[in-house]
Structure 1
Amino acid sequence: MLSNRAIALFIITLLFIPLSSAFMVHSQVGASFPMGISTFPLTGVHYTNQVEGIINISSLSIGQSFFSNGQPFQTGNASLQLNSMVDGLFWAQDVALICQESPNTFGIRMVVNFWNLTGPFTIKVNNGTVTSFQGLGVICYLGPNITVKTPFELGLFMTENSSGISFSFSYNGHNRTYYFVPVTGSFQIGGYSKLNLPNDLEFVWGGPGGGSIVPLSMNSSAAILYEQGGKMVLPRETYSIGFDTGESAEGVSVNADLSSVFSPKVNEVSGTDDPKVLWPVPPSISISQKNSTVNVSVSIDGKVIPNQKVEIESGFPLSPIAESVTDSHGIAVFRNISSSLFVVYYPGNFTLSYSYALSSPVLNSVYSSLQSYYHKLLNFLQSEEYSFKKGLTSFFNNGKYVSPPTTVNYLLLEYIAAISLGVIISALLVKLKT
Structure 2
Amino acid sequence: MWELREITAALKSGGFGDPARARVADVLAGPGSAGEPRRVDLAADVALAEAVADPLGRGWRPCDLHRMALRREDARVAGLVADAIAAELASRPSAAVPPSWRDQLDRLGSSVWWRPEEPRVSQWAAREGVGRRDTLVQVMRALGSVALLPALPDPPAPARPGTGVNEKMLARVRALLAKAESTSFPEEAEALSAKAQELMSRYSFERALVDSGPGRTGSARRLWLEDPYLTAKSALVMAVASANRCRSVVYPGLGFVVVVGHETDLDIVELLATSLLVQATEAMLAAGRHTHRDGRSRTRSFRHSFLLAYAERIRERLTETDRRCLEQVADERLLPVLARREEEVDELFRELFPEVRTRRYAAGSDAGGWQAGRAAAERARLTVERRAVGPRP
Coarse TM-score class (shorter-chain normalised): under 0.3
- TM-score, scaled relative to structure 2: 0.22
Q: Which has the higher helix share?
A: 2
Q: Which has the higher strand share?
A: 1
Larger relative CO (CA 8 A, sep 6+): 1 or 2? 1
- TM-score, scaled relative to structure 1: 0.20
